[in-house]
Chains A and B, each alone.
Chain A
Amino acid sequence: DVKVTQSSRYLVKRTGEKVFLECVQDMDHENMFWYRQDPGLGLRLIYFSYDVKMKEKGDIPEGYSVSREKKERFSLILESASTNQTSMYLCASSFRMTSGRETQYFGPGTRLLVL
């Protein structure tokens, strides 16, 4: 079974703190994704990566950065956390297929509260 793990299930941080969310997958997937999920808005893509050291912006990259130094690990960084970044953060991974129709496998999510 594919396993996608996230470093924390719950996290409480203060405004202005630097926050690291880590995601690890064990299936040698090329693609990795970071989403945030907010009530009434559905999942929105923050950043994704097709390969090591490669990253592309999603729909809402402002206030976030990412790092992919190893294939299995994709980190989301909040340089200076703000209260509007309180959300559920979900990581996902998939194989890269030419059709683009790759099934995504999700981690359990991290609920971040910024005070």
Chain B
Amino acid sequence: KNEVEQSPQNLTAQEGEFITINCSYSVGISALHWLQQHPGGGIVSLFMLSSGKKKHGRLIATINIQEKHSSLHITASHPRDSAVYICADLPNTGNQFYFGTGTSLTVIP
């Protein structure tokens, strides 16, 4: 059974802190998707990765296929980063994404 688990569930940080959100999954995958959900519901795709590391501005995503683990890092966090961050995996044997329950991040000025 494909399980996608995120940690922590909730995270509060001071502005400027380095933040790490973790995602573990239980089956072989062909891709992992990191998404950001703003208050009010809108979801934005941040990264799609299948190996290594990707960087976009202050956001960095890494994946270790052997350990079935991915991390999302935010450097120099800012209050506008406050959102729910969701990871989703695409199993090798399937054609749909499976989503974690999300990590709620609050960055305090």
Contacts A41-B101, A43-B99 hold; do A100 and B41 have CB atoms under 8 A apart?
Answer: no
Q: State the main secondary structure of chain B at its contact with A.
A: strand
**Mask for A39-67, Cβ within 8 A of B = 1, else 0?**
01111110010000000001100000000
Q: Identify which of residues 9-31 in chain A touch chain B, using a CB-to-CB cut-off of 8 Å.
A: none
Q: How many residues of B contact A (CB 8 A)?
A: 23
**Is A104's beta carbon under 8 Å from chain B?**
yes
Neighbouring A residues of B90 by C-beta, 8 Å: 100-101
Q: Are A99 and B30 in contact (CB under 8 A)?
A: yes
Contacts A99-B30, A103-B33 hold; do A109 and B41 have CB atoms under 8 A apart?
Answer: yes
Q: Identify which of residues 77-104 in chain B touch chain A, using a CB-to-CB cut-off of 8 Å.
A: 86, 88, 90, 95-97, 99-102
**Is A88's beta carbon under 8 Å from chain B?**
yes
Q: Are A58 and B96 in contact (CB under 8 A)?
A: yes
Contacts A90-B41, A100-B30 hold; do A45 and B48 have CB atoms under 8 A apart?
Answer: no
Q: How far is the CB of A57 from chain B (nearest CB, A)?
A: 10
Top 9 closest pairs, chain A to chain B, by CB: A109-B41, A106-B43, A101-B31, A42-B99, A43-B99, A42-B101, A103-B45, A108-B42, A103-B48
A-B contact pairs, 21 of them (CB 8 A): A41-B101, A42-B4, A42-B99, A42-B101, A48-B96, A58-B96, A59-B96, A92-B43, A99-B31, A100-B31, A101-B50, A103-B33, A103-B45, A104-B33, A104-B45, A106-B43, A106-B45, A108-B40, A109-B40, A109-B43, A111-B41
| A interface residues with partner B (beta carbon < 8 Å) | 40-45, 48, 58-59, 88, 90, 92, 99-101, 103-106, 108-109, 111
| B interface residues with partner A (beta carbon < 8 Å) | 4, 30-31, 33, 35, 40-45, 48, 50, 86, 88, 90, 95-97, 99-102
